[in-house]
Amino acid sequence: MGVKERRAREKEQLRQQILSAARELFVTEGYEHVSMRKSADKIEYSPTTIYL
């Protein structure tokens, strides 16, 4: 397995983490109270990472 495949797999895993965190926050706090920063904090990444 090459570097390209590993990066693609890691990117997809991060995407799934972000979506899961957002879903959980939507359920617990309501849509109006969810932000990129809260989602990033939940997965322990910087908000900039989510935008990338």
**Which structure tokens are listed for 26?**
């939507």
Return the biggest CA–CA distance within the chain: 42
Q: What is the pTM of this model?
A: 0.82
Give the CA distances from residue 35 to residues 2, 3, 10, 17, 42, in Å, rounded to whole numbers and listed in that order: 35, 32, 23, 15, 11
pLDDT band at residue 41 using 50, 70 and 90 as cut-offs = very high
pLDDT band at residue 51 using 50, 70 and 90 as cut-offs = confident
Give tens-digit pLDDT for 4-32.
999 999 999 999 999 999 999 999 999 89
CATH for 45: 1.10.10.60
Distance CA 50, CA 24 (A): 16
Total number of domains in the chain: 1
Residue 17: give the domain boundaries.
3-51
In terms of Cβ atoms closer than 10 Å to its own Cβ (0-12, 13-18, 19+), residue 41 is middle
At 1 the pLDDT is 67
